Amino acid sequence: MDTLLLIEDEKLFGTELARHYREAGWEVELVANLAEARRALLERQLDPLLVISDMNLPDGNALDLMEQTQGKIAHAEWLFLTGYASVPESVRALRLGAYDFLEKPCDFDHLDLVVASAARNAGVQRRVIAQARQQHQRYSPDAYLGHSDKAREIRLFLAKMTQVPFSVLIVGGESGTGKGLAASILHYGGRRAQNPLVELNCAALPRDLLESELFGHEAGAFTGAGSRHRGLLEQADGGTLFLDEIAEMPLDLQAKLLKAIEDRRFRRLGSEKEIRVDVQIIAASHRDLEKMAREGEFRADLYHRLSVFHLLLPPLRDLREDLDELVPLFVAEFNAKAGKQVKTIPPEVWEQLRAYSWPGNVRELRNVIERCVLLSDSTVFPAQWLQLPAQEGETAPAAAGKNELLIPLDGSMPLEDMDRYILRTVLEQTGFNLAAAARALGTTRETLRYRVRKYGIQVSEKDKRD
């Protein structure tokens, strides 16, 4: 049963309201002044979904009580009844977030409609707050696991940053090191946790779609724009925008993004109206943005604006001691998901896990553990399903002719390693000529460059001829 706190000094009217809403199914607490209401809320910890209060009471103005209790009690909607309301009181009530205020005497039928609407809104707000708290618990700084000194330093940095009202931050590191996890920790552990966390992978969209997705557009702004679209920057207002792989954003869009960050306003495509936003920006890239900025491949002004705070996540090969914590955790996770009972990890498995360089970092480790647990037939971790590729490259396939590739289909080479092997082989056969390699693979140079970066294939500057 939902609780309603009724603050009314007119005894007859208050009694009638209390009776009416008890009959409607509410648990009603009736008090006659602000002092009683304050004791009920702060000392007895009454948890009302809705507060109906006279505006002016013998011991003060109810708006003062509303302001005093904000942040100290669970979310409740406040509905004020008043014989008259001055303009300053009305403005203050709206600023404090009052749901509505009605003049006395009020019609009960109309009051019932307002009460029902306020109760629905309070219920929604409480669910949103509860979900934010769950996310906060899930994404606390402790979610970045590991007992190494570096892992502890990163947890300390994340904990510190959740207490700082920062506006921009760069997270660097190789693919799979946990940049998305760091962004979630920074958002859900900070002051914007109850507002949206919006993510955009800048490498996933072509230039025109990326601009529209980020800034939005008006109907008719371009061919196919049949209706207005709110961009992700607008959707993230009050919260956080996580721009993953920001190095892939075209330079002209970088300039537009910088202006939006600096001015805190922007225009949708096809619109002359400026939209104001308050957004926290977290940018991430597996590439060296500082080097790109020096070489003119990334806007230096945007880099310096974003890098007020900089977090570099180390690769797993530099955190091998953390495998002792990560591996059992992932085994337990997939045991629970798949109903398995893997408990014992043999020494030979640990030897392979510690010897491998983990180019895919924690993401690759998690995928390997998932595969092994899902394919396990006993309580012993199955070493045969590790299938870790050779250290200096990939599992070596059989020899083939100049224009042929032989790929093992016996499960010894994972799909991603096949992709990497094909790409490296074609590049070697074409003398690292990207244009020729792209033609041989039936793709574009832009896609080829992306996959070269994704797999960390070393291509010297002189070999990037196309």
- Are both 3-135 and 316-385 of the same fold? no
Instruction: Give CA–CA dist 359/353, Å, rounded.
Output: 12
- Beta bridge partners, 274, equal 267
Question: pLDDT tens string for the chain (466 positions)?
Answer: 789 999 999 999 999 999 999 999 999 999 999 999 999 999 999 999 999 999 889 999 999 999 889 878 888 999 998 876 567 777 787 778 888 888 887 888 889 999 999 998 888 888 877 776 666 567 888 889 999 999 999 999 999 999 888 888 889 999 899 999 999 999 988 888 888 999 999 998 888 899 999 999 998 888 888 888 999 999 999 999 999 999 999 999 999 999 999 999 999 999 989 999 999 999 999 999 999 999 999 999 999 999 999 999 999 999 999 999 999 999 999 999 999 999 999 999 999 999 999 999 999 999 999 999 999 999 999 998 998 876 544 444 444 455 666 666 655 566 777 778 888 888 878 877 888 888 888 788 877 887 788 777 766 544 444 4
Q: CATH code for 146-312?
A: 3.40.50.300
How many other C-beta atoms lie within 10 A of the C-beta of residue 373?
23
Q: CATH code for 3-135?
A: 3.40.50.2300
Q: Measuring CA to CA, how many Å separate 88 from each of 83, 85, 93, 94, 246?
A: 15, 8, 9, 10, 46
Angle at Cα 52 formed by Cα 95 and Cα 48, nearest 5°? 95
Asked whether the beta carbons of 427 and 459 are under 8 A apart, the reply is yes
Asked whether the beta carbons of 255 and 299 are under 8 A apart, the reply is yes
Question: Which contacts of 35-44 are long-range, i.e. CB under 8 A and separated by 24 or more positions?
Answer: 35/59, 37/5, 37/7, 37/65, 38/65, 38/68, 38/69, 40/5, 41/5, 41/65, 41/69, 41/72, 41/73, 42/69, 42/72, 42/73
Alpha-carbon torsion, ordered 355, 361, 366, 368, to 10 deg: -50
Instruction: Give CA–CA dist 117/126, Å, rounded.
Output: 14
Asked whether the beta carbons of 230 and 272 are under 8 A apart, the reply is no
Q: Which residues contact 129 (CB under 8 A, 6 or more apart)?
A: 75, 194
Instruction: Give CA–CA dist 324/388, Å, rounded.
Output: 18
pLDDT value at residue 166: 87
394-466 topology per CATH: Arc Repressor Mutant, subunit A (1.10.10)
The token duo for 413 is: 């080479």
The token duo for 395 is: 């599992």
pLDDT value at residue 460: 52
Question: Torsions phi, psi of 76, nearest 5?
Answer: -140, 145
Asked whether the beta carbons of 332 and 345 are under 8 A apart, the reply is no
pLDDT value at residue 465: 47
List the chain domain ranges. 3-135, 146-312, 316-385, 394-466
- Beta bridge partners, 49, equal none
Name residue 163's amino acid.
Answer: Q
Instruction: Give CA–CA dist 378/169, Å, rounded.
Output: 46
Domain made up of 316-385: CATH architecture:
Orthogonal Bundle (1.10)
pLDDT value at residue 463: 47
Cα–Cα nearest to 159, from 141, 172, 177:
141
Asked whether the beta carbons of 392 and 424 are under 8 A apart, the reply is no
Instruction: Give CA–CA dist 304/284, Å, rounded.
Output: 14
Instruction: Give CA–CA dist 74/45, Å, rounded.
Output: 10
pLDDT value at residue 186: 93
